[in-house]
Amino acid sequence: MASRGGVDLGGTKIQTVIVDDDDQVIGSSRRPTPTEGGPQDVADAIADALREAAAEAKVVPADLEGVGVGSPGKVDDDAGTVAGAKNLPDWDGVYDLRAALNAALGVPIRLGNDVQVATDAEFELGAGREHPSILGVFWGTGVGGGIVLDGKPWTGRDAAGEIGHIVINQGGARCSCGRRGCLEAYAGRASMEARARRHHERGEPTVLFEIMEQRGRERLTSGVWARALAAGDKMAEEMLDRAVAALGAGIASAQNLLDVEAVIIGGGLGVRMGEPFVERIREAMMPHLFNDGRPPVVALAALGDPGGAIGASLLARAPR
């Protein structure tokens, strides 16, 4: 029996899985992404995380058929490199991630875009598996998108799926990309946190930052938002309402262009907020849908947090 490894390399965490022939997870591990050092330190952390998952699966890394890595930044699987991964430490340039992981693990390494592999996983194994064409929306620190059309991933010239930078408000809020009015500027967790901090500093009441400290966090994680909402925090409610409205407009605009069968909502916030928010996003899309008599299925990502790593493991399948 051949097993494979999958790695979801994120700005905050490295999630790894070992899967068997049937794509079932038989081992996993999760650790924080190094915030200091550089690409080599991140590669070392990936190798360690993978060894840990392999130990749980009772295999040795050298016996794996291969390891797939879903990475942010500009990913070039032919060259084996990742460039300009801004959320990773000192990773502005081009780094040969394949060579580094190859040296550490001694197995074939395949690279893919983090959001696209998560979409591919939902398409093959998760909430999208009944549908020929899907749009994956990953609502987390930013808002990422992945597209599968007629069974094939659509990556454009490398930069397709950037649903977070669909303009929902001309001249609107400043986005992390430097432009204005992008969906991500309203719905991304990082933008929501920056806005919450500004309002908090102005003296507006909120329990968001108390909860953050109680939980020993330095950021307003998805869990912090969920707890504040459960406590009836007005600021959290207002900002999540604003995010849902923005997601409704942005996703409906993408749907007007693509007309896919299903929209899959994943990402840290998406998974954490769950079905009630999927329903709210579905409703928020309706006023903006041109073909409102026949809306797409809008479903929660079925594979949860390990979905990105499971998707990455699909990259490591032997060509058929």
Where do contacts with Zn ion occur on this chain (CB under 5 A)? 165, 175, 177, 179, 182
The residues with which 255 forms a beta bridge, in sequence order, are: none
Q: How far is the CB of 305 from Zn ion (least distance, A)?
A: 25
- Torsion sign (Cα): 19, 24, 26, 30: positive
Q: Is residue 135 classed as helix, strand or coil in its secondary structure?
A: strand
Pick the closer one to Zn ion by CB: 177 or 257: 177
Q: How far is the CB of 41 from Zn ion (least distance, A)?
A: 29
Q: What single DSSP character describes residue 174?
A: B
Pick the closer one to Zn ion by CB: 191 or 206: 191
Pick the closer one to Zn ion by CB: 43 or 168: 168
Q: How far is the CB of 162 from Zn ion (least distance, A)?
A: 8
Pick the closer one to Zn ion by CB: 5 or 142: 142
Q: How far is the CB of 248 from Zn ion (least distance, A)?
A: 18
Provide the pairing of β-strand 109-113 with 67-71.
Answer: parallel
Residue 249 near residue 238, CB atoms below 8 Å: no
Residue 128 near residue 256, CB atoms below 8 Å: no
Taking the C-alpha atoms of residue 168 and residue 165, their distance in angstroms, rounded to an integer, is 9
Nearby residues of 147 by Cβ (< 8 Å), 6 or more positions away: 119, 134, 135, 136, 153, 154, 155, 160, 161, 258, 260
Q: How far is the CB of 148 from Zn ion (least distance, A)?
A: 23
Taking the C-alpha atoms of residue 229 and residue 272, their distance in angstroms, rounded to an integer, is 12
Pick the closer one to Zn ion by CB: 64 or 246: 246
Residue 252 near residue 124, CB atoms below 8 Å: no
Q: How far is the CB of 86 from Zn ion (least distance, A)?
A: 13
Pick the closer one to Zn ion by CB: 58 or 174: 174
